[in-house]
């Protein structure tokens, strides 16, 4: 059976030379272009990443950039993989210990580079780094009785949890920063705690008769007082629920 040709963007990420042998090596030029694009995204967000701005950053005409990156979508796909760090090493850790570290590391790099959140569902993982994250999760679960399909679903679920938590964290950090700026301008006091502000807002708008349990949660400070939307205790609580479910599945299979 004849295999379909690799999409150009996938071939580029894996260093497969599908073009002419003449001229500079595309992979070397691609690395320089991607570094420039990531630098722009880190400074300005994805809104600043345009073919023209990246070309200017590397001293290249915009049309010349298309020789190495076929479109902006291709550029974003390669950026997402290149900006992803290496996954945690297994180091012989049990699957639960490793997946806890794996999920937290996944959340942390998304918080550090929030522009990656916009690309989380841009394309399924096809690059060497994003696929290495998937491979390590599957490897950690290999000693269990779970089949490969179940292990892939587990990795996808944990990735979704990390992405959701990173999104919430970034949203609250952004909102707190905006509120701090407004407060500083109005009252000269920029001390803001994200969750405290959120709880204060809810306390003012919730009707105890319509939202009885949520009102009780707010008034008992169940949302916490951390400066971030998701602190380590909140994150670990949700993660433990997922890992407990995985452990139950493994036990049932065993």
Are residues 227 and 117 located together in one domain of the fold? yes
**Residues 106, 72: one domain?**
no
Alpha helix stretches (DSSP H) within the chain: 8-13, 26-44, 51-57, 62-65, 72-82, 95-112, 128-140, 148-187, 194-205, 212-219, 232-253
Q: Do 133 and 156 share a structural domain?
A: yes
What the block records as the tokens of 28 is: 């070397």
Residue range(s) defining the domain that contains residue 243: 95-253
pLDDT digits 0-9 by tens, 164-191: 999 988 877 776 666 555 555 544 444 3
Is 12 within the bounds of a domain? yes
Which tens digit of pLDDT belongs to each residue from 9-28? 888 888 875 554 445 554 44
The verdict on pTM exceeding 0.85 is no
Q: How many domains does the chain have?
A: 2
Q: How far apart are CA 103 and CA 163, in angstroms?
A: 9
Give the pLDDT of residue 57: 94
Task: Examine the pLDDT at 82 and tell me if it is beyond 70.
Answer: yes
The CATH number assigned to the domain holding 29 equals: 1.10.10.60
């Amino acid at each position: 059976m004849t295999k379909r040709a690799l999409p150009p963007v996938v071939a580029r990420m894996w260093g497969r030379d599908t073009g002419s042998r003449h001229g500079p090596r595309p992979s070397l030029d691609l690395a320089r272009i991607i570094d420039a694009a990531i630098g722009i995204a880190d400074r300005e967000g994805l809104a600043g990443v345009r073919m023209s701005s990246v070309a200017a950053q590397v001293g290249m005409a915009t049309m010349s950039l298309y020789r190495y990156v076929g479109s902006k979508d291709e550029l974003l796909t390669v950026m997402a993989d290149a900006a992803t760090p290496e996954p945690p090493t297994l180091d012989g850790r049990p699957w639960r210990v490793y997946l806890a570290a794996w999920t937290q590391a996944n959340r942390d790099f998304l918080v550090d580079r929030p522009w990656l959140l916009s690309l989380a569902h841009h394309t399924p993982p096809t690059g060497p780094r994003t696929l290495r994250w998937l491979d390590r999760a599957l490897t950690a679960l290999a000693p269990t009785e779970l089949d490969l399909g179940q292990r892939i679903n587990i990795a996808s679920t944990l990735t979704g949890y990390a992405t959701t938590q990173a999104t919430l964290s970034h949203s609250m950090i952004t909102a707190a920063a905006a509120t701090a700026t407004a407060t500083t301008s109005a009252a000269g006091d920029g001390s803001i705690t994200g969750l405290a502000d959120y709880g204060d807002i809810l306390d003012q708008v919730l009707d105890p008769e319509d939202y009885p349990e949520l009102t009780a949660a707010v008034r008992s400070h169940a949302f916490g007082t951390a400066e971030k939307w998701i602190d380590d205790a909140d994150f670990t609580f949700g993660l433990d629920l997922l890992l407990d479910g995985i452990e139950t599945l493994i036990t049932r299979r065993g």
